[in-house]
Every structure is written in structure tokens, then in C-alpha cells.
Chains A and B, each alone.
Chain A
Amino acid sequence: MNLTKYYYIGKINFVNSFVYVWDRVASSAFVGLIIFIFTQLWQIIYSEGQIISGFSIAMMLWYFVMTESIVTSLPSIVKRVGAEIKEGQIANYLNKPYNYLLYQYSTYLGKAVFNFFLTFLIGSIVVLPILGGIEFNFLNIPLIFLAVILAISLNFILMMFLGMFSFWFEESGSLRMIYNKIVFTLGGMLLPLEIFPQWLSKISKLLPFSYIAYYPAKLFVNFNFGLFWQVIRTQIFWIVIFSGLTLMMYKIGVRKVSINGG
């Protein structure tokens, strides 16, 4: 398997994104607006400069910048995969599921990384004037970036998994919507899990969604090695599980297509 070609696909998609940068700037500006609104929100709550559930206002806002940057960077593939299944283009990949998955992944990752940096940049521009900087150990950056990449990848495989339902169901759009909303809430995108009532926080930590938004952002504002290893381990765990499930569904779905002639 020649893996370097997928690296190049990823790179091309990353570079290509510069061409459409103005479209993305507009959507990222929109995210910037939401981040701004939240700065206003948290400034009221933190009027006495206190620490809430382990978060200072600086941590809270940078947390939010990080979760928004990750979650909004994710290109939507469920629709495209669903369409490819329905229109039969998937037939080209019938015998090469690894190739299909890798191809989608490298395309997706290239775009997602670009979007992430753009949104993070805009979010920083909104938040910095209010906070000054953040105490930060820059040596942790590669580690945090690894957690971000794994988070993006976990989201990818979850979306691919949802896309597989198109073999059986017409309308997979609603699945995608529900998924998005779960990530917004239980994934900790809007509020860190510490703010949740205990029982809800416990449930969320058991689910894979919190490893897309909450945990990478937590590492960003409050890094420690113990947490880092736990996060990486669990992200890989979920990725492996859902990769297996996806491949399995792919094989079953493809068999159904070959039997029924699409």
C-alpha cells in the first residue's frame, strides 16, 4: 500500500483551501461573533475574577476558542458519502475499502487542519484584547496538536460510520444533525463538562463525543501528562472501535448492493 499518495492528497487539499479562503473567512468570522458573544457572557459571570470549577475566565474563553476551532473545522462528509453510496460511485471502491476510507480521510484532514488554524486565529483575535495572553508552556504544543489531530480523526470516523447508514436508509441527513447537536452539548463544545450537573458530566465522559471537543480543549488550558496519556489512549480506542464497525458495515452494505444490484 502506497501511503505517501494519501499524504499528498491531504497536502493538496490543505493548499487548495487557500484559494477558497475568503469563503472560509466569512464563516470563521461568524464563529468569531459567537466567541465574542461568549466573552460578554463570561465577563458577567466572572465579574469578581473568581475561579469556577477550576476555570479562570481566561481558561474558559480559550477553552471555547479551542472547542469551536475543532468542531467548526470539520468538513461535512456524511452527505457526500451518502450521495456516493446512493449514486453508486462507491462501486468503484467495492474491492478496496481501505483505499476509499484513506482517500476520504486524507481529503478531509487537509481541509480540517486548514479550517482549524483559520478559526483559531480569528478566535484568538477576538479573545486576546480582552484577556491579554495565557500562561502557556509552548513545549506542550506538539502534544496538544496531536490530541487535536486525533480529535479531528475521531470525528471523521464517527461521521463515516453514520454515512454507512446510507446503504439502508434514504435520509441520513437527520442522523448527521443529531450527531452535530450531541457534540455541541455532550461533547462539551459550548460548556466544559465541569459546569454540567454531576450525573450528566459522568455520562458525557463515557461517550466518545467528549474526546472531540472537551478533552483536547481541557489539555490546552490545563495541561498535565496524566490527562494527556488518558486522552490519547481513549481517542485511539474509540477510533479503532469505530473503524472496525465502519469497515464491517461497509462490507455488509457492499454485499447488499452487489446482491441487489444497487
Chain B
Amino acid sequence: MVAKLFKLHYEYIKVALSTAMEYKVNFITQVFAMILNNSVWLVFWWIFFNKFQMLNGWTMEDVILLYSIVTISYGLGGFFFGNRLNISHLIVNGKLDFYLTLPKNILYHILISKSNFYDVGDVIFGVVLAIISLSLSQVPLFLVFSISSGIIFVAFAILVNSLAFYMGSAESTSKHLFFGTLALSSYPMSIFKGAAKIIILTLIPAGFISGIPISLLKEFNLGWFLVTLGFASLILFLSIKVFHRGLRKYESGNLLYVRT
């Protein structure tokens, strides 16, 4: 049964590839935009570390590693579960009905039915950075974190998009929350103190996406490693629960807006 789900997923990815090839210009533009965006931040940090050398114990190499984790985990999420950011749009526009008439697990089907092929650009960018900054011994741990951070990104997207089951204008709210998390993940965790630090280790899980993994790659600590994996599992579990709760509300037809 699981094999069948993978087969379907593979089919959707094939479709995304052929669409990308069909709209080549669009595809290349998006990959280009991605690389440009990422490069700007690297230029920023290069200028910054050129002047200041260190930021609370963090160096340019650490920032490169951080970028690598963030781009890889974000890109993997976009490639494999490209619809994660559209869930609120589907809910608001009654497009969940399509999935409800089909014999597959709703959440999974929604997630895999779109694959952003250009997010491969992010993954490749991240891999190149990783090759530059990782030592061989760090690779296995790095792979583990790429997956756990990828899971946190997707689970968080599901959570905030599920707000659409409960409130109007959830589409823009969820986008801002998600990209806010992405932004916070892109900075060394050591700059955050006090309340901010607590928030990025709980509500806005930027700390578990990049901050903790990077410090564990520099200096391994079994306790925090287990906490990170535990957090990823927890947020995944929570997101699935919250989505299905909201789905029940959708199916009883009592959303705020009338579905056509």
C-alpha cells in the first residue's frame, strides 16, 4: 500500500518535470531568481565578516553551513511536497472537494500533488555550499538534519495553513508566518536572546531548523540531538492532527465562507 503511494508520488514528480520542460523560460527564470536571492545573502555576510570577523563565536564558515541546511531542507520540502504552502488556498476556495472524492489519504495527496521543480535549484545551491564547508565526518549528521529540518518546514507549513479551517484571510497570514520562520532560520541563532530565543525554539521553530543543528555539527551533544529529532516528530504529529481536526470541520460544512 505504501509502495502505491510512492508510485503516485513519482508520477506527480514526473508531471512536474514535464511541465518545467514545457515552460522552460519560466523554469530557468525561477531557478535564476533563487540563486540570485541566495547569493545576495552570501554577499551580505561576506561584507559583514570581512569587517567583523566574528559574530558571537560564529564565522563565515558557520554561516555558509547554516545556509546550506536551510536551502537544502527548504528545497527538499518544495520538491517533494510542493503543495504545502497552498493548503490554505485550497481550503478557502473549496478545492479540497477534489481530493475528498479520490481514494487516497487527503493530506498526503494534497502535499504530493504539486512538485516545485525549481526548488531543486535551492537544493543544489545548498549541496554546493555543503561541499565547501563540511568535513567528511560531519556528513552523516548533516544528512539527518537535512531531513529533520525538512520535516519541520513542511509540518510548520501544514500547521499555519490549517488556520484556514478556522479563520478568514488565513492565506496571507500563513504565508507571513512561514516566511518569517524561513527568515529567522537564516540568521545565526546566537544573536537571539531571552524571549526571542524561547520563541524560535517553540512557536516559530527556526531554532530547530538551523540553529541547534549547526551547533550540534560544531559540537555534538546527544541530549540536544534527541530533542531535535523529538521536536521534528512532535511537530509532524501535531500538524497531522490539527489538519484532520480542521478537515472534519470542513466536511461538516461549517466554514465561515460558503463553498460553491
A residues near B, CB below 8 A? 23, 26-27, 29-30, 33-34, 36-37, 40-41, 43-45, 170-171, 173-174, 177-178, 181, 184-185, 190-191, 195-197, 200
B51 in the interface (beta carbon within 8 A): yes
Residues 145-195 of B contacting A (Cβ, < 8 Å): 172-173, 176, 179-180, 183-184, 187, 190-193
Where the two chains meet, the residues of B that have a C-beta atom closer than 8 Å to any C-beta of A are 25, 29, 32-33, 36-37, 39-40, 43-44, 47-48, 50-52, 55-56, 172-173, 176, 179-180, 183-184, 187, 190-193, 196
Contact of A34 among B39, B50, B183, B196 (CB under 8 A): B183
Tell me which of B176, B179, B192 contacts A40 (CB under 8 A): B192
Known: A40-B191, A44-B191, A181-B37. A173 touches B183 (CB 8 A): no
Contacts A30-B180, A40-B193, A185-B40 known; A173 to B47 CB distance under 8 Å?
no
Residues of chain B with a CB closer than 8 A to A40's CB:
187, 191-193, 196
Q: Are A185 and B36 in contact (CB under 8 A)?
A: no
Contacts A37-B187, A44-B191, A197-B50; is A174 near B180 (CB within 8 Å)? Answer: no
Bound Cα distance from A181 to B183, whole angstroms: 16
- A41-B40 in contact (CB<8A): no
**Which residue among B39, B51, B183, B196 has the maximum number of chain A CB atoms within 10 Å of its CB?**
B51
Q: Which residues of B contact A174 (CB under 8 A)?
A: 29, 32-33
Whether B191 and A26, one on each chain, are in contact in the complex, defined by CB atoms closer than 8 angstroms, is: no
Choose one: A34, A171, A184; the contact of B29 (CB below 8 Å). Answer: A171
Cβ contact within 8 Å between A191 and B47? yes
- Chain A residues within 8 Å of B183, by CB: 30, 33-34, 37
CB <8 Å contact, A45 and B47: no
Beta-carbon nearest neighbor of B191 in chain A: A40
- The secondary-structure label for the interface of chain A is helix
**Residue among B47, B52, B173, B192 with the highest chain A CB neighbour number at 10 A:** B47
For A44, what are the chain B residues with a Cβ–Cβ distance below 8 Å?
Answer: 55-56, 190-191
A191, B176: Cβ atoms closer than 8 Å: no
- Closest Cβ neighbor of A186 among chain B residues: B43
Our pick among A41, A45, A196, A200 for the contact of B187 (Cβ within 8 Å) is: A41
Tell me the bound Cα distance from A30 to B183 in angstroms: 9
Kindly state the separation between the CA atoms of A170 and B56 in the bound complex, as whole angstroms: 47
CA separation between A33 and B180, bound complex, in Å?
7
Chain A residues, CB < 8 A from B196: 36, 40
Once the chains bind, are B33 and A41 in contact (CB under 8 Å)?
no
Please, which residue of chain A has its CB at the minimum distance from the CB of B57?
A44
Q: How far is the CA of A200 from the CA of B196 in the complex (A)?
A: 34
Nearest to A40 among chain B residues (CB) is B191
Bound-state CA distance A202–B167 (Å) is 51
